[in-house]
Chains A and B, each alone.
Chain A
Amino acid sequence: MALQRNSKLVTKKFIAYLIPSILMVFAMQFGSLIDGILIGQMIGTEALSATSLVMPILSIAQLPGFALGVGGSIVIANLLGKRDVAKAKKVFSFCLIMAFAISLSFTIASFFVSKPLASLFGEKSLGYSEPYVFGYLLTNPIIAVAMVYGSIMAVDNNPKLSSALYIVANVAKVGIEILLISLLSKSGIYWATFGAAISTGLGYLVGLLTVIFYIRSKKRLLKLTFKMKGAGLKEIMKASSTSALNMVLTAVQTLVVNIFIGMLVTSQQDLLAYGLISNMVFLFELLCGGVANLIPNLCSIFYGEKDFFSLKSLTKKMFMITIGITLVVTAVILITPQGYSFIFGQSDFSNFDHVAFLLRIYCLNFIGYEINKFSMNYYPSVDKNAVSWVVVLSRELVVVLPLTLSLLFAKGLEGYCWANVLNETITVLITCVFIFFYNRKKKIYKGLLMLEELNVVSMDVSLDNEINNASVISEELTKFALANKVPERESQLVGLASEEMVNNIVTYGYKKNVHSYIDVNLKVLEDKLILRIRDDGMPFDPTKYEFDEDEDYSTSGILLIKKLTDKMNYMRVLNLNNTVFEINTKGVTNNGN
């Protein structure tokens, strides 16, 4: 029987994680959309434009929670992949406490800086912008804590709770916002806008109720600790840097570009086109954001485990899905910009040719846009932050600002559309060139995924959950170990460990007639054998298993391998059982080359 590795088990998990992630993105995008509608309808269009103008400030305020949440989850996922739960707990605690502390300092500052900050965007709209900035900063620590929990719960075996947090928060926010604006508008526009601002924080406070379920979850690995020495500040900062830099530069870029667009784009058709263009970003985020969110979580874990087969397979799938969706939506907009505009309420298509032309140009940027977003999420997950920095700096600063501004001045909104297409394309090219030279310099990384070559003798297979496969894998692993000059005893032991474990998984792990897969990996190192068995059966920690046989003998296979192997580790990662055995070897002559 030819045994091969497949990605069916990890793909099952990917699909299980994808649905909550898509729902989460939907909730967040609709939350923002409805927020705008409510402010516009219930307070007024002046309030809407004033609150839109101060968005860059709010983005900066979100930075601690967002960056430490994303960065922390990357580091934690990586540590869980390496089975270092103790350090993962420290990272979790550090990120949570730091995000809260920094946000709290913003809250304290809000009493003094809200007015001067808001006045930067014009004295005329200060009546709206000041209470909005003040209200948002006041509740900012709640948002920061929720963002950290949202990111961490997803990597700590609770992706559904993570999505539930955002969904509950955004639904609650809408309800609270309607209530507060209705109640406070009697006291004037200041308090109505203040009510709209604090509704986000209060919504997240309701969303944080999901943390109660997380704390009670049996699948949870991370617990808060105040012993944070050795949390790895450098690693956290490195992993957080891309999202932090991206957030700051996006805010700066949006601010600068918006100022010039406001000055240069004046015709009715251009204004209509600009509104539709802004919604295009929303549409692509809505459709592709769910996949993008999963990249750091999944890739970091598999990178930590050095399971490059799963990493490559899932990365390829996520990339294909993202680009597939992007190509289809781009094609639809190219074919029928009127159809796209209709979704956003445009029904009058007289004099629409110029708008259609601009939409067709602008939609071309999304292929590059999604590739660049993919890069920004992927490379920090595999510890190649330098690449993601290149992407961020290129698309948010080096290329986009001079290019956008010069084309905007030269050709108006059409120039802006072309600038976006060129910017994303140039960034993709710059990234590829950078990767080429980086790989050439470092010599150990290969291809666009930049994974190092593992010079280890290993056997990597996937099995159907059938009882006969317990014997098959045992025999094959023993043969493989013997062929690689592992001593007879240790070769037989590794076979025994795999048989007993697979037998147990097949017999007790699944309900009747449930078909699934078990991934088995054996690494032959110089001084030991490492056997990893991964399954999606019921949670079962063999290291805690005790057999209550009232005899002086035991027929338990699990106890047998516990006694015969030198080390046994277990961890529930990505809702998968991961059991790792180590068997010390002596006299292994093959070094894997």
Chain B
Amino acid sequence: MEIKIEHGENLVISLKGRLDTVTSVELGEKLEKEEMNEKLVIMDMKELEYISSAGLRLLLTLKKKLSPEGKELEIHNLNPVCQEVFRVTGFGNILTVK
């Protein structure tokens, strides 16, 4: 999986490939080291082909980390398969999906 992180007005994390059992650990380790000073963190999933429950758990952990700091997490550009995963798990209700 390719991970691109851009700091600016918002923090934009672009993902390409698959967010699965292995790559969610890699992404988690990378985000752990990243300074997140922006108020809004955008996960751009335009090029993300696939997400499993391991990826969802990572997003949940990130949201739980950002919320107490008054920061927000938005998920952008989900493909139809990932949208379906968000829908059946209820993640579409707890995360801001655009």
Interface residues of A (CB under 8 A from B): 467-468, 470-471, 474-475, 478, 488-489, 492-493, 495-496, 499-500, 503, 551-557, 559-560, 563-564
Contacts and interface: CB of A to CB of B under 8 A. Distances in A.
Interface stretch (B4-12, B14-22, B29-37): B14-22
A553 B94 contact: yes
Interface in B69-98: 80-81, 84-85, 88-91, 93-94
A499 B60 CA distance: 19
B85 A475 contact: no
B53 A555 contact: yes
Nearest to B85: A560
Interface string B51-77: 011101100100000000000000000
Interface residues of B, number: 23
Contact of A495 (B50, B57, B89): B50
A492 B49 contact: yes
A564 B84 CA distance: 8
A529 to B, nearest CB: 15
A474 B21 CA distance: 10
Contacts of A556: 53
Contacts of A555: 53, 56-57, 60, 89
13 contacts: A467-B21, A470-B21, A471-B22, A471-B23, A474-B18, A474-B52, A475-B18, A478-B50, A551-B90, A553-B90, A555-B56, A555-B57, A560-B85
Contacts of A471: 18, 20-23
Q: Is the interface of A mostly helix, strand, loop or mixed?
A: helix
B52 A553 contact: no
Contacts of A496: 50, 52, 85
A450 B18 CA distance: 43
B21 A499 contact: yes
A474 B53 contact: no
B94 A552 contact: yes
Contacts of B54: 499, 503, 557
Interface-centre pick from B21, B22, B89 (highest chain A CB count, 10 A): B21
B20 to A, nearest CB: 4
A468 B53 contact: no
A499 B85 contact: no
B20 A470 contact: yes
Contacts of A553: 89-91, 93-94
Given A500-B53, A560-B89, A564-B88, 5 more contacts: A471-B23, A496-B50, A552-B93, A555-B60, A557-B52
Contacts of A554: 89-90
Contacts of B60: 555
The 6 closest A-B pairs by CB, nearest first: A553-B90, A557-B53, A471-B22, A563-B88, A471-B20, A470-B21
Q: A467, A471, A557, A564 — which one has the most chain B CB atoms within 10 A of its CB?
A: A471
B81 A488 contact: yes
Given A474-B20, A555-B60, A500 B52 contact: yes
Q: Is the interface of B mostly helix, strand, loop or mixed?
A: helix
A553 B20 CA distance: 19
A499 B90 contact: no
A229 to B, nearest CB: 40
B93 to A, nearest CB: 6
Contacts of A551: 90, 94
A478 B52 CA distance: 13
A493 B56 CA distance: 15
Contacts of B89: 553-555, 559-560
Nearest to A475: B18
Question: Which residue, B52, B56, B91, has most C-beta atoms of chain A within 10 A?
Answer: B52
Nearest to A502: B21
A284 B52 CA distance: 55
Given A492-B81, A495-B50, A555-B56, A560 B21 contact: no
A554 B52 CA distance: 12
A135 to B, nearest CB: 65
A493 B85 CA distance: 9
Contact of B81 (A474, A489, A563): A489
Contacts of A475: 18, 20
Contacts of B57: 555
Contacts of A563: 88
B24 to A, nearest CB: 9
B75 to A, nearest CB: 13
A542 to B, nearest CB: 13
A560 B22 CA distance: 18
- Identify the interface centre among B23, B88, B93: most chain A CB within 10 Å of its CB: B88
A499 B94 contact: no
A394 B87 CA distance: 66
Contacts of B94: 551-553
A550 to B, nearest CB: 12
A489 B49 CA distance: 10
Nearest to A557: B53
Nearest to A507: B21
Most buried by B among A475, A552, A553: A553
A257 B49 CA distance: 75
Nearest to B82: A492
A489 B80 contact: yes
A497 to B, nearest CB: 10
A496 B55 CA distance: 11
Nearest to B1: A471
A559 B89 CA distance: 8
Contacts of A474: 18, 20-21, 50, 52
Contact of A468 (B21, B56, B80): B21
Contacts of A559: 89
A489 to B, nearest CB: 5
A192 B21 CA distance: 72
Contacts of B20: 470-471, 474-475, 499
A568 to B, nearest CB: 14
A554 B53 CA distance: 9
A500 B85 CA distance: 13
Contacts of A503: 21, 52-54
